[in-house]
Structure 1
């Protein structure tokens, strides 16, 4: 029996199928990572709760308990408490389920069509699995960034501010949600909610752990992140970014990352001066895609498991082409991303190329970097309002 193109299209267009695959990924990862030495990051998260509960330093190494160090904000151990108090397998499984459910909910809430949401979920699927295998927070951070945008779109300033505060005070990446401020309808209310939520959530550890201890942990967190930046320069598993490509290919420590970061910020920020384009949904969705990619491509802390954030951006970009239609360059960039970025951490990719080319030179970031640059150029050059109006007019004529 042959699988006809029509049946194939209907299959991959099924919301139930992609939802089932995302949900199944949580169960598969929980089972395959059940052995103690295979869920190190979950152990780090669980240990952070017990360290906080006993007023121990959060940011020291504890080699007798786990490898690596805890790097998230002092708020995180409190939020992780419901999972830390459960047996390991159950806690880890529920943690992975929460990650998947949070990200699915965020994508489901995007102001776009069902078909485009399914496209985004398919494009991000492999990197979702990679992130789940590391039991990382990145899936939920991606969801927080999406939701900070979505709630601005829905004019729910209180909720947008909540997700920014949650994302920032657990992992600093969440702060990029602030870039959606220009799209907010009631900017004064938005700022008021930001101050309120940062105050409430930031004060929560102080309420439970005492002022002197928690202030010391906040200070240590900032110091830890600053020191980690230099450590990441030539790490095989870190600095998987546009910054990392230049650093690792050149092999140089003589220049500052600001040499790339400042032009990157300018290129990222310039589209925001195109105020007349704000009323285009496609323009705003491309801003969202640019933000998700920028967060990863300009961070020395980027690693393979953070690319769920970037691939959500790739999916949003591909589902919302600037000129209304996907062209051959878009397809080539997407294929390159899926092969070199999404597949490279898996056993389906040749190990020799992964170990000798992809990892040493941060090539996982190559095609996402091309996509980000293309998004920025499109955001500066394309008349999104005109393109959107013409597309809607064509669709209306076709329906008549």
Structure 2
């Protein structure tokens, strides 16, 4: 136990683990050869997502439509903003092995740094949050995804808001929106803090800057065309699968074929209800649970959520559990999340179990759904007691 405790309170050791995971996943993908993403389909590099991000920069400077399939070059659509494509040029010009490694390392380091920037949280608790996220971190960097970066930027937004550093908070939040649009849900955090005028104009400033950045390399007509094309892609994307989401859970478990829009509207309504408890805005645990709710909400109500997306939700789960006084029911839910959300896609579960039960019944999403319901209930009616520093209860 002493060795575990020494590890948990050693930021350098944990950073080394995060760095090693990112580097290992990068080299594994780079040397992974070719594979098809659909049965009998064209072969692409194992690190196809990185290739999509990389080529988006070159498509941008060549005045191409970023949102065409480009199936001769990549195995899926580019779905991020034109601004993301431009900024990714910093990595795109590098050799693949270096750019891929730096991309995954950036994701891991931003997430690591954001947890250490959390206010009113002792170093051991931060170590526990890190350990809880390790497997999901490996999953997302093995897929070269931006989800660890998204989670880190949302945590940084909270940390800066708590310290009233509104320029940095709005920069982080606007960055998430220009990576994946669901970052816009983080705007709900602004309701919890004073000086909303400053939050408004700082956010507007960064939004304008990020929107206009592509004009550095494209003309006005191409600029307008790209944003219209992006909007069209996102609109069409709404008709695709329900992913590892509440919508698919309702279908596979209960046979309820409910329109995704209705499910999302219900989710927004339930999410917003706790925000009516304005007097609780002064309570740090309440604000932390709102952040946890956001981190889980943007995954379980995302019709495109996949396994690699759950680093964001698991970050919310860890923050939820380790930010408040431990309880038996919360501990049980935490264990369920670790076993069925984090471990269910791994080889610890036999392949036939994964294929016959875990995937068809979206088991990965279920603990996060239950925890989000519990968070919402507690935000509406619970008492908010911060976790004692150095607490070892129910870990």
Q: TM-score, normalised by structure 2?
A: 0.91
Which residue number corresponds to residue 39 of structure 2?
A: none
Seen in structure 2, the aligned counterparts of structure 1 residues 12 and 166 have a Cα distance that, compared at 3 Å, is: closer
CA contact (8 A) 1:277 1:383 kept: no
Q: Which has the higher helix share?
A: 1
Deviation at 1:269, TM superposition (A): 1.1
Which residue number corresponds to residue 305 of structure 2?
A: 302
Which residue number corresponds to residue 291 of structure 1?
A: 294
User: Matches of 1:217 and 1:46 in 2, distance apart?
Assistant: 17
Q: Residue 28 of structure 1 is aligned with which of 10, 24, 29? A: 24
Seen in structure 2, the aligned counterparts of structure 1 residues 59 and 80 have a Cα distance that, compared at 3 Å, is: same
CA contact (8 A) 1:141 1:173 kept: no
User: Matches of 1:130 and 1:201 in 2, distance apart?
Assistant: 29
Deviation at 1:137, TM superposition (A): 1.0
Which residue number corresponds to residue 194 of structure 2?
A: 185
User: Matches of 2:363 and 2:231 in 1, distance apart?
Assistant: 29
Which residue number corresponds to residue 274 of structure 1?
A: 277
Q: Which runs of 5+ in 1 are unaligned?
A: 234-238, 396-400
SS in structure 2 opposite 1:231? Answer: coil
Q: Which runs of 5+ in 2 are unaligned?
A: 34-44
What are the Cα deviations for residues 250-278 of structure 1, in whole angstroms up to 9, with x where unaligned?
Answer: 5665x312332223222211111212222
Indicate yes or no: 2:224 matched with 1:215: yes
What are the Cα deviations for residues 337-377 of structure 1, in whole angstroms up to 9, with x where unaligned?
Answer: 11111112222222111111221222210001111111111
User: Matches of 1:367 and 1:391 in 2, distance apart?
Assistant: 25
User: Matches of 1:348 and 1:214 in 2, distance apart?
Assistant: 48
User: Matches of 1:158 and 1:8 in 2, distance apart?
Assistant: 38
CA contact (8 A) 1:59 1:221 kept: yes
Q: Residue 102 of structure 1 is aligned with which of 91, 107, 110? A: 110
Seen in structure 2, the aligned counterparts of structure 1 residues 13 and 242 have a Cα distance that, compared at 3 Å, is: farther
User: Matches of 1:6 and 1:207 in 2, distance apart?
Assistant: 54
User: Matches of 1:176 and 1:201 in 2, distance apart?
Assistant: 18
Seen in structure 2, the aligned counterparts of structure 1 residues 259 and 122 have a Cα distance that, compared at 3 Å, is: same
Deviation at 1:328, TM superposition (A): 2.1
Which residue number corresponds to residue 398 of structure 1?
A: none
Seen in structure 2, the aligned counterparts of structure 1 residues 12 and 194 have a Cα distance that, compared at 3 Å, is: closer
C-alpha RMSD of matched pairs (Å): 1.9
User: Matches of 2:179 and 2:219 in 1, distance apart?
Assistant: 18
Deviation at 1:175, TM superposition (A): 1.1
Deviation at 1:177, TM superposition (A): 1.8
Indicate yes or no: 2:248 matched with 1:240: no
CA contact (8 A) 2:115 2:155 kept: yes
Q: TM-score, normalised by structure 1?
A: 0.90
User: Matches of 2:84 and 2:252 in 1, distance apart?
Assistant: 32
Runs of 4+ with >4 A deviation: 250-253
Which residue number corresponds to residue 236 of structure 1?
A: none
Which residue number corresponds to residue 312 of structure 1?
A: 315
The count of residues paired between Structure 1 and Structure 2 equals 377
